[in-house]
Amino acid sequence: MSLIRKTIAGLILGMLTTSTMAMDQQDLEIARERAAMIDEIRNLLSDDSPSVRLAVFEQVMKDDDPVLRSMAMETAFSNDDERLKTAALRKLIEEREFIAVELIEPMDPSQPQAYTYNIWRELVLLELKIAPLSDEVSGRFRSAGFGNSQTFSGQLTRGGWLMQLAAGYYNCHLTLSELDGVNLNGSLECAIGGRATGEDYAGGNRASLPFRIRLS
């Protein structure tokens, strides 16, 4: 009886091992096919033809695959093709619920920069909308110094954007000018008015701060 049980157990174990090996081979083949597809899409996004690059990007962004979409966005932002970068920015604005803008305080800031940084840090763009024909952008924003959200407007440019943000004694332009893979970089250029220019506040009437937007 013991021998029969051992024989049956051996047969079952052998069947399970064979099934596992077959499953592993199948999974491996699927992984190879997916890797080949990812490589092919990446190559097409870097094709010599601008039309091919743009068409492939638009097609990938219709897919629900988060890996492919993320790769397509990163590749588009790393490309020198301004039309492709603009298409990626358009898609970013269409799909993001918000965009967090990370202001970068200089190592040795001037008084206007330090004051402006404290007010405009934690800047977030909300309720983003973009007009499909004109690429005009609208939405709301808030920051550490402006808790209640304010409206803003702007425009996509070739490979960037220009947004106008105004609140309190500030009239600012948020200019996105450098797109590099997972980081978008630019500057916040502000004109300061009223009492905010006093020595107890900004101590000047202009301030500029670099910013970055992290996509991942």
Judged against a pLDDT cut of 60, whether residue 18 lies above it is answered with no
* 130 pLDDT tier (thresholds 50, 70, 90): very high
Of residues 25 and 103, the one with the higher pLDDT is 103
Judged against a pLDDT cut of 80, whether residue 15 lies above it is answered with no
φ and ψ at residue 162, rounded to 5 degrees: -135, 115
Measured CA to CA in angstroms, residue 192 lies from 104, 144, 153, 172 at distances of: 19, 17, 19, 9
Judged against a pLDDT cut of 70, whether residue 200 lies above it is answered with yes
Question: What does the pLDDT look like over 31-90, one tens digit per residue?
Answer: 888 888 888 888 888 889 999 999 999 999 998 889 889 889 999 998 889 999 999 999
Specify the pLDDT at position 38.
Answer: 86
Judged against a pLDDT cut of 90, whether residue 16 lies above it is answered with no
Helix H or strand E encompassing 54 = helix 50-60
Question: What does the pLDDT look like over 164-194, one tens digit per residue?
Answer: 999 999 999 999 988 887 899 999 999 999 9
Question: What domains appear along the chain, each with residue ranges and CATH number?
Answer: 2-93 (no CATH), 97-214 (2.40.128.30)
**Residue 196 neighbours by CB distance under 10 Å:** 20
